[in-house]
Amino acid sequence: MYKIIDKRYFSPKVVKLEVEAPEIARARKAGHFVIVICDEKGERIPLTIADADIRRGTISLVVQAVGASTEKICAMEPGESFASLVGPLGKATRIARHEGGAVVCCGGGVGVAPLLPIIKAMKAAGNRVVSVLAARTKDLIILEDDVRRHSDEVIIMTDDGSAGEKGLVTQGLETVLQREPVAEVVTIGPAVMMKFVALLTKKYDVPTVASLNTIMVDGTGMCGACRVSVGGKMRFVCVDGPEFDAHEVDFDEMIMRMHAYD
């Protein structure tokens, strides 16, 4: 049993849970995810590990209530335990030190949670890290303080201009691309956001990695729900990813398939 020891609300439908999982905390790397089952009748929910504390033996998960199972998870309180928690799963993020430019990390909405460990790892590797966080409105910007602690610069973009600059993540990203050398871009968020980040960075010829965790369902490769076309070949996000060359991903196909779950 994996006990919840702390809970924090980012919004009425988005919570951060700190969960006892010492072995996973020791083994996890940036980019890894876990499979959570809240009770004996619950379904498998893949969640990227947002943080880990080896000393406390805990991992942090950010959960958005979008269906029955995630609503159950978000309703759980400290002292309660998950029936099952398996991980770390997936392939870890490739972390490299770039001498020729900055690493720009673009996160949209709850995508900032899985982006945070990548920001930390990129900074620890000696990179200049610029983080661009985007959301519809100020109240939907999450983990800003944590991101600032591990970034050289943070740019906030909101649709309504209630925080930072009014506009889209691509506008904040292009500001950086136009003013300084950028060695790599990492993007996590809604599929349509990642699509337009990839289109922009392709124009500037900047290598870009996208995490496609939003399409995962089963998390083991058995259900086939997370199949995507990458470079003209079929890939499974949960076992081959979750991160891929963004310029090779067929985002239009991915977005069309995700509508099947609406």
Residue 242: which CATH number? 3.40.50.80
Residues 79, 157, single domain; the answer is no
Among the listed residues 111, 109, 99, 100, the one whose alpha carbon sits nearest the alpha carbon of residue 209 = 111
Phi and psi, residue 56, nearest 5°: -85, -15
**CA–CA dist 75, 63 (Å, integer):** 10
Backbone angles phi, psi at 51, to 5 degrees: -170, 165
Asked whether 32 and 49 are in contact (CB, 8 A), the reply is yes
Domain identity same for 107 and 84: no
81 plus 117 within the same structural domain:
no
Give tens-digit pLDDT for 176-190.
999 999 999 999 998
Q: Which residue, of 89, 116, 149, is where some domain finishes?
A: 89
What CATH number should be reported for the domain holding residue 82?
2.40.30.10
Q: How far apart are CA 73 and CA 78, in angstroms?
A: 11
Would 94 be classed as within a structural domain? no
Tell me how long the chain is.
262
Please give the pLDDT value at position 23: 94
pLDDT at 87: 84
144-171 average pLDDT score: 93
Whole-angstrom distance between the N-terminal and C-terminal Cα of the chain?
A: 32
Amino acid identity of residue 216, one-letter, is: M
CA angle 166, 170, 173 (to 5 degrees): 100
Residue with tokens 């499974």, as numbered in its chain: 236
User: pLDDT tens-digit profile of 65-92?
Assistant: 888 888 898 999 999 999 888 888 888 8
Q: Are residues 250 and 133 in the same domain?
A: yes
Cβ–Cβ under 8 Å, residues 105 and 132: yes
pLDDT of residue 161: 87
> Average pLDDT, stretch 22-33?
92
| 40, 104, 232 from 115: Cα distances, Å | 30, 11, 26
Of 37, 68, 89, which residue sits at a domain end? 89
Radius of gyration of the chain (CA): 17
Q: In what order do the strands lie in the sheet with 14-20?
A: 81-82, 2-11, 14-20, 58-64, 45-53, 33-37, 84-89
220-226 contact pairs (CB < 8 A, 24+): 220/35
Q: Give the range of the structural domain holding residue 134, as residue numbers without chain letter.
A: 102-261
Query: Quick one: 144 and 241 in the same domain?
Result: yes
Higher pLDDT among residues 1 and 165, named by residue = 165
**16 and 144 both lie in a single domain:** no
Report residue 166's pLDDT band, with 50, 70 and 90 as the boundaries.
very high
Give the 3-state secondary structure percentages of the chain, helix then strand then coil, rounded to 5: 30, 35, 30
Evaluate if residue 101 carries a pLDDT over 80: yes
Structure confidence at residue 224 as a pLDDT band (50, 70, 90): low
Q: What are phi and psi of 123, to 5 degrees?
A: -70, -45
Q: Are residues 80 and 148 in the same domain?
A: no
Which of 61, 89, 117 is the last residue in one of the domains?
A: 89
pLDDT band at 4 (very low <50, low <70, confident <90, very high): very high
Lookup: tokens for 250: 């067929």
Instruction: Give the range among 22-31, 67-76, 99-108 with minimum mean pLDDT.
Output: 67-76
Q: Residue 98 and residue 122: Cα distance in Å, rounded?
A: 9
Number of domains within the chain: 2
